[in-house]
Chain A
Amino acid sequence: MSLILILEQILNGLQFGVMLFLMAAGLTLVFGVMGLINLAHGALYMVGAFAAAIVAAWTGSFVLALVASLAAAAAAGALVELLVIRKLYDRDHLDQVLATFALILIFSEGTRWVFGSFPLFLDVPSYLSGPISLPGGIEYPLYRLTIIAIGLVVAAGLFWLIARTRIGIQIRAGESDREMIAALGVDISKLYTLVFALGAALAGLAGALVGAIQSVQVGMGEPVLILAFVVIVIGGIGSIKGAMVGALLVGLTDTLGGVFLPQLFGLFMEPASATSVGASLASMLIYILMAAILLVRPSGLYGGQH
């Protein structure tokens, strides 16, 4: 296998990881600040992708489509928070799991009802399609590179938001002590709605960006949701930094494992069975990674005591 192939796959893994980060960041924030486990986060990813596909079909503008994905997911997130989620903050995890599972059913079947089971299409705009030459002779799709860039910019913005702004201070205060932020005179319920909508917007953006390379369809958020959970377990609940590290680890492990494990097995097995054994093992690789980290650090790489 060539060096170029390896570099290409590393970029793919990076792109995947950055998208996972956008998903995981919202989940981990919502858990850290409100103590809520939200299974319906994948539905917001789907909402973002559908909004983008519709607006792109209408206006033909990819930028507007991305804006729409942010807006629609944020709005859906805020609405869900106001109607359902805020009743769950004081409930136990079981209630949170069930209620947000119910939300998934409502979102998924509702979307299927309106848009049908066939996927919508969201095209990569012409100015972003096609490969671009990178130093070292790598030809890499420009769009994927753009995704990586957008993801990194958003991540940087998020770190800045949390470390430097008033809202960030309130969020961090909320993670350590609810009463303290009440004492600071912050309107907690507004802060919670805001954090939830922010997490939703990030998920929606990820949905739109990925929707352009995969397809936009009902249920698209669920596999990503579960990977985001793995990311959070690895990184540690409530930690944005952990989410970043976990997302990149999972993204790279999954991508590189999927490509190289079958080749690795090919070194000492016959090709057919190497492919199937390698593929089976690759599909489990990130979970094995998670289990290994769990053995050493039960509360994740950057996790506190939750």
Chain B
Amino acid sequence: MNREKLLNTAVILLLLAIPLWAHMAEEPFLITLATKVAILALAGVGLNIALGIGGLVSLGHAAFFGIGGYAMGILAAHAQNYEPLAEWPMLIEGTNQMPVIWLVAVVASALAALVIGALSLRTSGVYFIMITLAFGQMLYYFAISWTAYGGEDGLSIWVRNEFPGLNTLVPLEFFLICYVILCAALWFAARLARAPFGLALSAARQCEARVETVGITPYQLRLTAFVISGAITGLAGALFADLNRFVSPTMLSWHTSGEIMIFVIIGGVGRLFGPVIGAALFILLEHLLGGISDYWQIYLGGLLLIIVLYARGGVIGAISGREVAHD
């Protein structure tokens, strides 16, 4: 096992061990923090497929995160009020069942990613960055003006949604749900990177002309990656909203996009576990620095600046050196 794999294993085990210990020590707040790490890491795993493998610098992933969040908020709000979502052309009721909510979140964010991706992937470089940012912001302003679901104030849910066979009100059980989903996403991302699709997508990032010369269209690769990426980030959004029992336009704001990107970068771009380490570090910093100063984001900015200017591989790069080519 090389150092990167060792580090990955240690991190994923630690992420499981801490809440288990906290459960026994009756420290629910720690479990909540770990849950947050798992969910934000999941969002980062989603972004990393577009960004790390595909080289698509999307500054609009908050859109998918937020759509996932609103999918949960809207469905749960209707379930809570016993008001159907729609009566025509057929009766659609709200729900408080997580699996259904997840499905809706994934489908809705995938659709949004399909539309946004189809448009913005017609361009590249800075245009792509600005356009994804702009579409994300469009949804942000839309959510603010959409008073039916809380507008600027957002939407609160009284009780956390349910999962068959589990008691999601127990922090550890909800954590385990998120943890298992994170592990599944990591497994999928790892397989994807090595699969024919991942090889071609990565090649399209490194050299577009090469991919076209062997008869593969980069646009289709990228759009597919963007949709998968958006869907995973959307799922994370639904879980995040469930964790907070609250969704608001902030989830859609471009600061959220920036933060998801920061998880990926702090950990190490294109590294499978980059988002996990990045999210853990982010939450840790937020917690530690946030305790010292209300203005902890200054330090975050400074740290980010140093990483970008002087330590491009992120934490994983610093610990385990240059990325080894996939075997």
Contact = CB atoms under 8 A, between A and B. Distances in A.
Interface in B103-131: 119-120, 122-123, 125-127, 129-131
Contacts of A37: 126, 129-130
Interface in A93-140: 93-95, 97-99, 101-106, 108-110, 112-113
A290 B147 CA distance: 25
A108 B298 CA distance: 8
B125 to A, nearest CB: 6
B131 A276 contact: no
A109 B130 CA distance: 24
A84 interface: yes
Interface stretch (B66-74, B93-101, B226-234, B254-262): B254-262
A294 to B, nearest CB: 6
Interface residues of B, number: 43
B305 A103 contact: yes
Interface string B286-324: 000000000111101110110011001000000000000
B141 A284 contact: yes
Nearest to B131: A233
A282 to B, nearest CB: 8
A97 B127 contact: no
B119 A280 contact: no
Interface residues of A, number: 43
Contacts of B297: 105, 108-109
A154 interface: no
Interface stretch (A55-63, A68-76, A174-182, A224-232): A224-232
A89 interface: no
Given A94-B51, A99-B308, A229-B130, A294 B142 contact: no
A94 B269 contact: yes
A295 interface: yes
Interface in A206-248: 222, 226, 229-230, 232-233, 237
A31 interface: yes
Interface stretch (B19-27, B132-140, B154-162, B187-195): B132-140
A291 interface: yes
B145 interface: yes
A25 B47 CA distance: 31
A230 B134 contact: yes
A41 to B, nearest CB: 12
B126 A93 contact: yes
B298 A31 contact: no
A257 to B, nearest CB: 12
Nearest to B258: A101
A9 interface: no
A95 B126 CA distance: 12
B126 A237 contact: yes
A299 B123 CA distance: 7
A298 B123 contact: yes
Contacts of B296: 109
A94 B52 CA distance: 11
B145 A109 contact: no
A295 B119 contact: yes
Contacts of B305: 84, 99, 102-103, 106
A279 interface: yes
B237 to A, nearest CB: 20
Contacts of B51: 94
B265 interface: yes
B241 interface: no
Contacts of A108: 297
Nearest to B139: A284
Interface in B176-208: none
Contacts of B239: none
B300 A105 contact: yes
Given A93-B126, A298-B122, 11 more contacts: A93-B129, A94-B57, A98-B265, A106-B305, A112-B295, A276-B145, A279-B145, A283-B141, A283-B144, A287-B135, A294-B120
26 contacts: A93-B129, A94-B51, A94-B57, A94-B265, A94-B269, A97-B129, A98-B304, A99-B304, A99-B305, A101-B262, A102-B304, A103-B305, A109-B296, A113-B298, A229-B134, A276-B147, A279-B145, A280-B145, A283-B144, A284-B141, A284-B142, A287-B138, A290-B131, A291-B119, A306-B125, A306-B127
For the complex of A and B, 4 pairs with smallest distance between CB atoms? A105-B301, A287-B138, A102-B304, A106-B301
Interface of B: 51, 57, 59, 119-120, 122-123, 125-127, 129-131, 133-135, 137-138, 141-142, 144-148, 254, 258, 261-262, 265, 269, 295-298, 300-302, 304-305, 308-309, 312
Interface of A: 31, 37, 84, 87, 93-95, 97-99, 101-106, 108-110, 112-113, 222, 226, 229-230, 232-233, 237, 276, 279-280, 282-284, 287, 290-291, 294-295, 298-300, 306
